[in-house]
Structure 1
């Protein structure tokens, strides 16, 4: 019964951070070339957790982009980089019109901002900290870095995949203690159920979780099933994976190691599924079904996804924020689904989460 309260706290915190960051993050400026680091104070930050995490996500972006380009065989990622006047920035890499992937994106970002003390108190549930009440000016400085990706294959039997891993911290300010936490996860969104595929995907992440804490996989698998629920459809957008937030219950190095291994498992968990299905024959009706499932994906991302809403509410770079959306999608009015069909099986699996491993 403890996990739901953690999620509620996380959602409340995210809401306050979104509102606070809307006035605490500066507009980006496009760069002619990509810098080696996005950190504001590279000399002092590079050897700490900020620098270590940035290097991990930048290296992961390079490796994943190279692996996807190799598998696609034709498509190439476009790279855009930007910086913010007060520090931080991002690098987006997006491929459109590939042979295997219709659209794929991998983005990294480093964000510096401030949040009002009252937002911090509400997010942390601590009304005893000092802040605006004693006349102090300014806000609580925060730092956030992360990597996110969504990949939409052409073939309706090859699944869409999403991952996001992030690190967030606040600095000590006027008696308000600094805090840090990690969040993220990897999840899969097929248009058709292939149990062997799901055993492979979930099995990889169970192994990663078990390497760090046997309690992680059941907890984070359930968290993903809850988090990726499209409430107005009463369906998950896909068949889950792992998801976690506010993780700071053990030393930073331990959680950093877990996040790093989970991020490193992306290609192992996902690319074999694309290799297996990229040349499967399919009908026009099956392609239309994929397009409709993408429509639900769009609905979820724009209505519920905290990363997307955070970006939209903080005046972020809109093209990078919306790179997760598919190149094409479909919405039909009251589409009929044969209850004995493979399409109905997918709806059932998204409505009633299954145990895959």
Structure 2
């Protein structure tokens, strides 16, 4: 099957503008009721624009109790080599580490960095503020969608997605590129991986050796998303709720979490938050290949309803919606900011 046909037959690869067509009509109705296209600003009052766009990841991390996420440092776009070195030394962050834009977009420019030289090259390539972060030592990752209405002490989990990383297994003969071509999901990533890895794609893995080619659970970067909503239990709900009520002004969004094993996670042990996403969060369990586009539409519209209802309640409590003028400016800034990722 050609990659084009594979994408055509699997709606998870369709352009989001197409996937979201029914949602636009629901958004228009909610905007009319709220008298603002940008009502989402009130969904998470402590996060810029509710976490819909132009929010700083570092600002969100600063809201989260520190024991729940890895050591993280902000590097300004104009930082010198010496400042970067000093930040690493002072923070105690060790190589290999993760780098990501402070204001990111769908996993773009998120990378695992192994050496100071690679980090300096990354810094020279980008024109944006970015974060350096300890590599989380756990192998498993889930995205947990959390919703809590203001004044309610208990929130609830509306879906869980588990993530299969882009992992290949060597046969002693095939190159990394050959192994990637055996799976259409992985083959789609080859052009980007060629830019990142170059000649390393010609490496031949020994028989049985596994290689995690993209060590972060991002759908755009080749991870397979599986609906794990059956894992919602009172125990895991309590763990997530206990965390989220400690995040000021956070009511709606997705927590991406890495963990060692599920039993420990349900006890609140051996896990770390990768990041917290706000109003722009998708219920990513919908991207499980077993689900139809109709299931995706149902989930998108269900979660938009949650966000609207939370925003209305917070607005009545004094959290403002964005004005039309301010919202359009933020959107234009968002479009311009994303152009900075062209090299990635």
TM-score, with normalisation over the residues of structure 2?
A: 0.31
Structure (1 or 2) with the greater strand fraction: 1
Structure with the bigger RCO (C-alpha within 8 Å, sep 6+) is: 2
TM-score, with normalisation over the residues of structure 1?
A: 0.30
